Structure 1
Amino acid sequence: MSYWDHRRPVRRARSVDEESIARDCVDLLDEGGLQALTIRAAARRLGIAAPSLYTRVDSVSDLADLALDAALGDDADMARAVAEEEVEGLLVAYYRHLVLHPWACQVIAMRPPRGPHCLRLSERLVALLVEGGASDPLETAYALTNLVIGSAVTSAAVASESASPVDPAVAPTYARLHARSRSADPEQTLVAGIAALRNRSPGGEARRAKRLADNDDG
């Protein structure tokens, strides 16, 4: 159960506010990763006693939920993408956001994102997929966001993947292709993956036919 399923009402005018908790937790996570986020650390950052923080949250998982949504809401590029971009641009913006905040992938892996900013992102994605003719837009959205999250998690390893040799005695085809490949661009790889997933998803055949027709008309 996420923080958003059991938000506590503010009973005191001077109680620490949700926005301050969220932003301070984002700072903790950006500085030290998920292991840096504890009730004590967050309380210390806020200048309050740990028991006071428990009047607003049940656990450190609630703090992670708040931080995840606050980081997304504070990202101006994400706000623009949600308002203006089509599927590919929206997903690339989300990938860049996750690379900027690596801890976010860990939080998403533990609990479904249910904060308002996360829900607006999800709403925009599924709405675009519905408009694009996907016969199962929710399943397609899950596949695409899982691709984005996985790409963000592995982005830091791209350079070492290109530099690390492959033993041709064990994997001859892989070794041959690897030796000929140029240094991978993780963002280009993501874009190729998005296109491949969308083309293979229900409705993808119709999209391909439309693109071909549009190209012929041009």
Structure 2
Amino acid sequence: MFVYADPVSYWDHRKPVHRTRAVDTDEIGRTAAALLDEGGLRALTVRAVAGRLNVAPASLYSRVSSVDDLFDLGLDHALGADPAMRHAVDTCELTDLMLAYHAHLTRHGWACPVIGMRAPRGPHYLRLSERMIALLDELGAPDPLSAAYTLASFTLGSALTQPMAPSERAAPVDAEIARRYARLHAEHPVDTDAVFRSGLTALTGTALTRDDTDGAGHGGARQGPR
């Protein structure tokens, strides 16, 4: 299982550029995202990125400290390069924004595990977080930050489990162990989009009335916006 070695993100320790021909971080992010789209988490290494950019691996270390930074750059690049997400962040209301984010995470299946490693702090993710919080504040949420945590976590979980939907439909349920589950499972269409929309509607309604500013609710002050 892949784990981050360093909880500090690239955005907290960006290296100054000392060479006029240093590798551009936008190119690094674009290449990292492409490798992740093609081969998942295991495909992203310093050597692989260097090979795509036709530079020596040592050259990348003028801009990044480790492969952890490549995940940060690739994650943020993928969000910023998605035209549907750019449109959603700029113009959409809350429901359509979260639907666009869910679709983005589903298209880039590696993004959810990367976000699960440490909170994203790149500029595109910060704009998404700011938009979510602003919309929730405008809708009158008593605690917009905790509400944003709740909606983001639900969206991440839904996108992460969406690929197993065919298995949920096909795998039989033993009625002797789970009678009600077996009966309902046989009748249910397992429409993942409908399930996500229904959950999003329910959670949004709760978020607009629940006050978690004491830190006892989801997130509190302990985690950053996803």
Which structure 2 residue ranges, 5 or more long, are not aligned? 1-7, 211-226
2:143 corresponds, among 136, 139, 144, to 136
Is residue 2:94 matched to residue 1:55? no
Tell me what 1:193 maps to: 199
Pairing 1:90–2:97 present: yes
Provide the identity percentage.
Answer: 53
1:203 alignment partner AA: T
Q: Which runs of 5+ in 1 are unaligned?
A: 205-218
CA–CA distance in 2 between the matches of 1:144 and 1:33? 25
1:44-83 equivalences in 2 (<5 Å): 44-83=51-90
Match of 1:179 among 179, 183, 186: 186
- Aligned counterpart, 2:119: 112
Q: Within 1, Cα distance between the matches of 2:174 and 2:205?
A: 33
1:150 lines up with 2:165 in the alignment = no
Mapped to 1, the partners of 2:208 and 2:87 lie a distance apart of: 28
Please tell me whether residue 167 in structure 1 is matched to residue 174 in structure 2: yes
Paired residue secondary structure (1:113): coil
The answer to whether the 8 Å contact 1:92/1:187 transfers is no
TM-align CA RMSD: 1.1
> In the alignment, does 2:32 pair up with 1:25?
yes
Q: With structure 1 as the length reference, what TM-score do the two structures score?
A: 0.90
Q: CA deviation at 1:201?
A: 2.8
SS across alignment from 2:86: helix
Larger CA deviation: 70-79 vs 155-164: 155-164
Deviates more, 1:23-32 or 1:184-193: 184-193
Letter in 2 for 1:149: L
Note the C-alpha offset of 1:43.
Answer: 0.9
Residue 102 of structure 1 deviates from its aligned partner by 0.7
- Letter paired with 1:197: L
Deviation, structure 1 residue 200: 2.3
Cα deviation digits, residues 61-96 of structure 1 (max 9, x gap): 100000000000000000000111111100110011
Alignment correspondent of 2:4: none
| 1:76 maps to amino acid | P
What amino acid maps onto 2:197 in structure 1?
V
Structure 1 residues 202 and 90, CA gap change in structure 2 (3 angstroms):
closer
The separation in 2 between residues aligned to 1:196 and 1:170, in whole angstroms, is: 30
- Matching of residue 126 in structure 1 with residue 133 in structure 2: yes
**Structure 1 residue 202: Cα displacement:** 4.7
1:140 Cα deviation from its structure 2 partner: 1.1
Q: Of 203, 209, 216, which residue of structure 2 is paired with 1:203?
A: 209
> Which letter maps to 2:172?
P
Aligned residues: 203
2:17 to 10, 35, 38: 10
